[in-house]
Structure 1
Amino acid sequence: MLDTSELNAAVERFADRLRAAPQSRLQRGAAAEGLELARQLALRAQRIEEPDGPRRVIPDAGVFAVADQLAVAGHDLAEILRTAPADSRERERDEAVGLVREAERRAGL
């Protein structure tokens, strides 16, 4: 099984920072960064789990919900990568960690 602890930790760190951010910072773009990342992570998970299935997009539930949406999407992807029967998901895991770090940087958190 693939070790996804780094991905889980990165997702939790960003989600915690979003939860702690003031409303003004969330409204200035941090929440939008978090939502876009959650959507990207969810789509990656869907492609692995159901390659030919329909794509579902995480809805915008507001600036105060984005941290939880990110946490759920990130942990779902980590679990799918951890248990996927494919030869190797290391590259996908590493790309996801990079996406989280870049979104956190752009959000200014």
Structure 2
Amino acid sequence: MPEPKTLVEAVDRLADRFRAMPQTRLLGAVPGHPSRAAAALALARRLAAVALAVEGARPRDFPDAGAFAAGDQLAVAGHELAAALTALDALIVPAVYGGVMVTLPVALGAHPAGSAVIADALLGVALAEVAATADLCR
């Protein structure tokens, strides 16, 4: 079972790739996105939305700070999610994840394994999305 540290490492590797990417590649289109930077921003927004939901916070806008900030925005969102999953100990509220409204099926205290099961599930999805974006933006 993955640790939040695994998410931090994966996000940092991908963020570093975006930070080092030349402008022509950064602004180049990839399937489903007008640019690699837009793909990174979309992932950052999804990670940030889940982090807010885990923390029980209301959804907020995640600004587009421009193509050259995509790596930094991705790193911040990934670190926030890892921190939220590490501290997870309260009920999960409905959240939009990957453009889909999701509600986790049980309150954390009602599940025999508690928050660890929920955190592991969210972490697994986040790691898969980071890997998919990394593959998309090669």
The normalised TM-score by structure 1 is 0.90
**Aligned pair partner of 2:41 in 17, 31, 35:** 35
**Aligned pair partner of 1:76 in 74, 77, 80:** 80
Counterpart of 1:18 in structure 2 is 18
Q: In the aligned structure 2, how far is the partner of 1:91 from the partner of 1:31? A: 27
Q: In the aligned structure 1, how far is the partner of 2:47 from the partner of 2:129? A: 9
Counterpart of 2:60 in structure 1 is 56
Kept in 2, the 8 Å contact 1:35–1:69? The answer is yes
Kept in 2, the 8 Å contact 1:33–1:104? The answer is no
Unaligned runs of 5+ in 1: none
Deviation at 1:57, TM superposition (A): 2.4
Deviations 1:20-47 (A, max 9, x none): 1000111112111110000000000111
Number of positions where the alignment pairs a residue of Structure 1 with one of Structure 2 = 105
Percent pairwise identity? 41
The normalised TM-score by structure 2 is 0.72
Relative to its length, the structure with more strand (as a share) is: 2
Deviation at 1:104, TM superposition (A): 1.1
Structure of greater relative contact order (alpha carbons < 8 Å, 6+ residues apart)? 1
Counterpart of 2:126 in structure 1 is 96
User: Match of 2:27, as an amino acid?
Assistant: Q
Larger radius of gyration: 2
RMSD of the alignment, in Å? Answer: 1.3
Deviation at 1:54, TM superposition (A): 2.8
Unaligned runs of 5+ in 2: 29-34, 90-107, 109-113
